Amino acid sequence: MSYKTIIGLEIHVELATKTKMFCSCVNAFGGEANTHCCPVCIGLPGALPVINKTAVEYAIRAGIAFNSKITTKTRMDRKNYFYSDLVKGYQISQDDLPLCDGGYIEIELENETKKIGLQRIHIEEDTGKQIHAVEGDTLIDYNRSGVPLIEIVTKPHMNTPEEARLFLEKLRATLKYIEVSDCKMEEGSLRCDVNINVVDNETGAKTNITEVKNLNSFRGAVKAMEYEEQRHIALLKEGKNTIKETRRWDDAKNETITMRGKGGVEDYRFAPDGDIAPIEISHEWIEEIKNNLPELPHNKKQRFIKDYDLSEYDAGVLTASKELAFFFEETIKYINDSKLVSNWIMGDVLRRLKDEEVEIQDTTLTPKSFAQLITIVKDGKINNNTGKKVLKEIFDTGKDPEIIVKEQGLIQISDEGALKEIVAKVLDENEQSIIDYKNGKDRAIGFLVGQIMKASKGKANPQIVNKMVIDMINER
């Protein structure tokens, strides 16, 4: 039997405006509970909302970046539902006239480019935050209430959790490029809901759609989708179905847990918000925003391939992160060797970032110090392995690479006279390796060079040592 998984996503993105959606309260993560509040964002009677123009501009930026049609005449609506962190008893959102209609994002699969369609992007306000105390009480912090959001709703075009992960990574990278959100999932500025069900390709039977709410990491989202995919398949095999419900991901148990039954859109009783005038957006303003949009990841990738002669893969990795792309271009201002810089970033730098689970901008490595290190290695002052050790030291201490090399006495020995005694001693101690080499076993040279590097504490120039070893063996 074969099955087809169908996945759609709803992504909530907090916009990086200075103030909230409908009031002048500061829009900032953290702060003492309930201090970034006013009568508007805590819903006191008589308080009137005033829409944040910058939030609308940021939403239009996202719509243009994601190939959406911008709606020139739209409005805000009231979405009615009860939840303890929703102070007014309704959320100001958009119903049938979203600011951005349609659109798509392209993801790169192994053998093809796949277009993931968008249904809409609309603007709305965030809710407060519930804090569940150990004693069983629930506390509410309204600092987040009224923070401007865009909700990006996809079409059900993804068929594997891996496709959804690629989509989310592309979406996050683009949002950071156009500077509308910091997309810090750990701070809640990007949250993802998953809608998933499975179809039996042979019988046509399909499970009901399950929604998994408020996933705050890509890892958690992928694991939740993988779990739900297998749960739905198991139900189909048993001739059963899942109820239409909302679930949440339990990271400790590695499973989804039922939260509540899922209602329909009619349960929200959408109605136009009478306190906010209809929104009219001029074509001139849309063009102005479009013309001032920063370079997008795809365009930067193509430019890196053309201008820096990089492979498509390397250019894709370097431009997947706005900060990494900036770091690369800043580094080559100090050393005009784009391929060498790319090789160092793709290898040791990315490995270090992955091991420490940090972003390049959060490290002590600067483009200038990185370029200095590469130059020292390129000029033969230290060898490649020593360069890796110096890179680690820069990450750990932030010291200048030239100071590290000087303090630790790491300058490479390239003088044959200085190396001759070490090479001769190693050859004298490894007669069998010499015999092996003369019998055609070339890898014996690698062993001997390694012993010399060890004896010189990594300071010997390996290219010169390799030549000296062969010459001195042939002289014997």
Q: How far apart are the first and last CA of the chain?
A: 70
Q: What is the pLDDT of residue 391?
A: 93
When pLDDT is averaged across residues 436-461 and rounded to a whole number, the result is: 77
* 109 pLDDT more than 60: yes
Q: What is the pLDDT of residue 414?
A: 63
Instruction: Give the residue with greater pLDDT, 214 vs 79.
Output: 79
Residues 304, 270 contacting (CB under 8 angstroms): no
Digit-coded pLDDT (tens) for 280-299? 999 999 999 999 999 999 99
Binning pLDDT at 50, 70 and 90, where does residue 262 land? low
CA dihedral for 460, 466, 471, 475, sign (positive or negative): positive
Q: What is the pLDDT of residue 268?
A: 83
Digit-coded pLDDT (tens) for 18-51? 999 999 999 998 889 999 999 999 989 999 999 9
Which candidate, 196, 284, 209, places its Cα nearest to that of 245?
A: 209
- All structural domains of the chain, each given as residue ranges with its CATH number in brackets, are 3-285 (no CATH), 295-407 (no CATH), 416-475 (1.10.10.410)
Q: What is the pTM of this model?
A: 0.84
CA dihedral for 42, 46, 49, 50, sign (positive or negative): negative
Digit-coded pLDDT (tens) for 211-244? 998 788 888 999 999 999 999 999 999 888 888 8
Rounded Cα gap, residues 374 and 259, in angstroms: 54
- Residue for token pair 């390796």: 433
Q: What is the dihedral of CA 323, 324, 330, 334, to 10 degrees?
A: 150
Which candidate, 263, 279, 278, 280, places its Cα nearest to that of 79?
A: 263
- Measuring CA to CA, how many Å separate 458 from each of 404, 423, 453, 470? 15, 13, 5, 19
User: Considering just the CA atoms, what is the radius of gyration of the chain in Å?
Assistant: 29
Q: What is the pLDDT of residue 264?
A: 61
Digit-coded pLDDT (tens) for 388-431? 999 999 999 999 998 998 888 777 666 566 677 777 787 778 87
* 258 pLDDT more than 60: yes
Residues 1, 200 contacting (CB under 8 angstroms): yes
Q: What is the pLDDT of residue 415?
A: 57
Residues 264, 289 contacting (CB under 8 angstroms): no
Q: What is the pLDDT of residue 474?
A: 75
Q: Considering the chain, what is the average pLDDT of its residues?
A: 90
Which candidate, 205, 175, 209, places its Cα nearest to that of 62?
A: 175
